[in-house]
Amino acid sequence: MAYGNKKFRRFGSEASNVKPDGELDYKNIPYLSSLMSPQFRIYPRKRTGFSGKDQRKLKRAIKRARFLALIPYTS
Amino acid sequence: MKTYEAMLLLDNREVKKGWDSLKEKVDGVFKKHGAEIIVAKRWDERKLAYEIKKQRRATYYLAYIKASPDSLAKLNFDFKLAEPVLRHLLLKVDEVPAEAFEPEKEFQVEASTEEETGASEKTEKPEEELTSEGESLAVDVVAEVVSASEVEVIEESVEGSTEASLEAEDEGSSPLSEGETKND
């Protein structure tokens, strides 16, 4: 990450390169649930450690699963 | 022609009427708009995270189709109108995943248990509520009976002497207060 540039610096931990352990697909409910809090909120990048690309995939997958009532919107 | 993935939530009431006829009906919508079905199978029968059209459970139907992009809007429109389809999602996929070609898992077993679970859960839940309410009611009744019987006994003793009546009133108040705490 660009640590020199104050405007775009990510606070918290240093950039990590965590890759998803499973497919970020709306049908993969057990894995998506592991990336959500018990109240079904999506964990932030700081917590998942995903790249921006993977985090967006996660967001999309979870929102699709919510639409199909596979995961609740709230607890 | 592009490959698309379609996930449909089907009404369990329609599924119970007959899976084959419903499948034909749904596949007919695909075919009507020139979509070619590659694989189509029942994905799951599960409890919904929230109610959709007053339904708590639904059957998930997963289909991979080849269709022209123009027909997607028509498909979306038709599925929105179709009554057995509670909700649907059409997505573009690059290729059909290998799992899609696996045969339906325990379709027969789940189909038979599905009605049982679907029906039993519907009946079980009210029963549970009833029993919990019934238990609490029973507890209340017992507490009332106990306090009432104690009061009667005290009243009998009251007839003996006026001095005892004052004590009995004190005693009479204490069981009642106990009864109130039991109610809580």
What are the sequence ranges of the domains in chain B? Answer: 2-105, 125-183
- Can you identify the CATH homologous superfamily of domain B2-105? Ribosomal protein S6/Translation elongation factor EF1B (3.30.70.60)
Confidence of residue B99 (pLDDT cuts 50, 70, 90): confident
What confidence tens digit (pLDDT) does each residue in B145-180 have?
A: 555 555 555 555 545 444 544 444 444 444 444 444
Q: A10-40 burial by CB neighbour count: b if 16+ within 10 A, else e?
A: eeeeeeeeeebeeebbbbbbebbeebbeeeb
Q: Which of A49-53, A68-72, B62-66, B116-120 is least confident?
A: B116-120
CB contact under 8 A, A72 and B43: no
Q: Which residue has the higher pLDDT, B22 or B134?
A: B22
At A18, is the secondary structure helix, strand, or coil? coil
- Of the candidates A26, A64, A69, which has its C-beta nearest B50's C-beta? A69
Residue B55 reports pLDDT greater than 70: yes
Look up residue B152 and give its two tokens.
């009667």
Residue B63 reports pLDDT greater than 50: yes
CB contact under 8 A, B87 and A71: no
Does residue A52 lie in a domain region?
Answer: yes
Q: What is the pLDDT of residue B146?
A: 53
Q: What is the pLDDT of residue B109?
A: 36
Q: What is the pLDDT of residue A11?
A: 60
Contacts of B9 in chain A (CB under 8 A): 68-69
> Are B71 and B4 a contacting pair, CB within 8 Å?
no
Beta bridge mates, B88: B8
Q: Which of A37-46, B30-39, B54-63, B124-133 is least confident?
A: B124-133
What rounded mean pLDDT belongs to chain B?
72
What rounded mean pLDDT belongs to chain A?
85
If 0-12 CB within 10 Å is exposed, 13-18 middle and 19+ buried, where does residue B146 land? middle
CA distance B132 to chain A (A): 23
Q: Which residue has the higher pLDDT, A2 or B102?
A: B102
Residue B130 reports pLDDT greater than 80: no
Look up residue B169 and give its two tokens.
């009133």
Gyration radius from chain A CA atoms = 14
Confidence of residue B97 (pLDDT cuts 50, 70, 90): confident
CB contact under 8 A, B48 and A69: yes
Does residue A39 lie in a domain region?
Answer: yes
Q: Which residue has the higher pLDDT, B84 or B122?
A: B84
Query: Looking at the 3D structure of chain A, how many domains does it have?
Result: 1
- Residue A8 touches chain B, beta carbons under 8 Å: no
Q: Which whole-number Å values give the CA distances from B60 to A24, A58, B7, B121, B154, in the listed order?
A: 19, 21, 7, 18, 66
- B107-158 and B162-183 helices, crossing angle to 10°: 170
- Residue A22 touches chain B, beta carbons under 8 Å: no
Q: What would the 3-class secondary structure string for chain B be?
A: CEEEEEEEEEEHHHHHHCHHHHHHHHHHHHHHCCCEEEEEEEEEEEEEEEEECCEEEEEEEEEEEEECCCHHHHHHHHHHHCCCEEEEEEEECCCCCHHHHCCCCCHHHHHHHHHHHHHHHHHHHHHHHHHHHHHHHHHHHHHHHHHHHHHHHHHHHHCCCHHHHHHHHHHHHHHHHHHHHHHC
Does residue A60 lie in a domain region?
Answer: yes
Q: What is the pLDDT of residue A75?
A: 78
Contacts of A68 in chain B (CB under 8 A): 7, 9, 60, 87, 89
Which domain, by its residues, includes A41? 29-67
Does residue A38 lie in a domain region?
Answer: yes
Contacts of B7 in chain A (CB under 8 A): 26-27, 68
Q: What is the pLDDT of residue B129?
A: 45
